[in-house]
Amino acid sequence: MKFEAVTIKDIAKALGLSTSTVSRALRDSYEISPETKKLVLEYAQNINYRPNPIALSLKEKRSRSIGIIVCEIANSFFSQIINGIESIAYDKGYNVIIAQSHESYEREVINVQYLASRSIDGLLVSVSSETKDLEHLKNLHERGLPIVFFDRIVDEMTTHKVIVDNFKGAYDATEHLIKSGYKYIANLAGSEYLSITKERLNGYSQALADHGRAFDPHYIQHCLHGGMVYEEVEKALDDLFKLEHKPDAILGCADKLTTNCLRYFKKKNIKVPDDIALVGFSNLDLTDLLSPSLTVVRQPAFEMGQLSTELLIQQIESKRPVKDFERRILPPQLFTRESTGL
């Protein structure tokens, strides 16, 4: 069974007018007499006429839809971002098509191709943690597709970028640990390819340096899939606990890294904060309910989604090619709670 919609042609036939006239009447053109307009408008209202967006897209060469690529929507940080994206997109009459990479480079490429073939007007991207090569995005970008990167950005492409101040987030968290008296602060980091990983690592190192602490690479462990696979986290933590001076505090540089860290502690019966302190980047709204409640760096995800979308739509609707691109940096916020209190 098909879902037959009313067209402009139906109205034209019913009213004995041409499609041109009906179209113009509906768009309130000055070339149409008030009576005809009224007639058309009322009839259209009556039979609940809705313009066919597909026909419009074909004519206007724009689909009024934007693509989103994230690693996972079942992740508070990203679902909050998507919330922000939607709030702006729907306001401006765009709809969003979401694709997930699940932290796989291969799936990211496939999804990009898919979205491109669905003729989207623009793309919002946060790359997967496996992504090194950017040809799949560069290609589209060179052909004129507006792209905005958020959170996990890349240097090689000049477009709008929206990030949080990861350096500051990590710096503040590390400083908080130092000031709380912790000596051996380990960094449970994400994929080495990601911009956020590097930035957070820098913040961590700088905080150590600024407080006269030695930087020891042994206290840094990378997890390629950002905590998505528990075994990676387990391995990383096992290695950390084999060090001569076991860490007495851990900075978890991603949501899943932090929660899987907790899972590890629970399994090994390691007590927080008595045996070890933990602070993590997390946007879960449950971290205050854990016991001990978790000290976290929280990122303004919703705002990030909004801002990215505004920049993207602005670029899409710009008459002339956008040349100067912005790099917007949002402030993270540290919530100190029980997991870092000695």
Binding site for DNA (CB under 7 A): 5, 7-9, 16-21, 23-24, 26-27, 30-36, 49-52, 55-56, 58-59, 61
Q: Which is nearer to its own copies, 149 or 193 (CB)?
A: 149
* Helices 255-268 and 230-240: angle between axes, nearest 10 degrees: 60
Q: Which is nearer to its own copies, 294 or 307 (CB)?
A: 294
Q: Report how far residue 79's alpha carbon sits from residue 77's, in angstroms, rounded to the nearest whole number.
A: 6
Strand 65-70 relative to strand 185-189: parallel, antiparallel, unpaired? unpaired
Strand 295-298 relative to strand 333-335: parallel, antiparallel, unpaired? antiparallel
Beta-strand runs (E) in the chain = 65-70, 95-100, 122-125, 147-150, 160-164, 185-189, 220-222, 249-252, 277-281, 295-298, 327-330, 333-335
* Binding partner of 206, given DNA, its own copies, none, CB within 5-8 angstroms per partner class: none
* Binding partner of 8, given DNA, its own copies, none, CB within 5-8 angstroms per partner class: DNA
For residue 163, the minimal CB distance to DNA (Å) is: 36
Q: Which is nearer to DNA, 24 or 168 (CB)?
A: 24
For residue 117, the minimal CB distance to DNA (Å) is: 10
Burial per residue of 36-71, b for 16 or more beta-carbon CB atoms within 10 angstroms, e otherwise? bbebbeebbeeeebeeeeeeeeeeeebbbbbbbbbb
With beta carbons less than 8 A apart as the criterion, state whether 242 and 219 touch: no
For residue 7, the minimal CB distance to DNA (Å) is: 3
Q: Which is nearer to DNA, 27 or 118 (CB)?
A: 27
For residue 315, the minimal CB distance to DNA (Å) is: 21
Q: Which is nearer to DNA, 98 or 116 (CB)?
A: 116
* Binding partner of 336, given its own copies, DNA, none, CB within 5-8 angstroms per partner class: none
Burial per residue of 209-218, b for 16 or more beta-carbon CB atoms within 10 angstroms, e otherwise? eeeeeeeeee
Q: Token pair of 153, please?
A: 């950005």
Q: Which is nearer to its own copies, 201 or 279 (CB)?
A: 279
* Residues near its own copies, by CB under 8 A: 1-5, 50-55, 57-58, 61, 63, 65, 73-76, 79-80, 82-83, 86, 90, 95-100, 114, 116-119, 121, 140, 143-146, 259, 262-263, 266, 284-286, 288-291, 318, 320-322
* Binding partner of 259, given its own copies, DNA, none, CB within 5-8 angstroms per partner class: its own copies
With beta carbons less than 8 A apart as the criterion, state whether 247 and 185 touch: yes
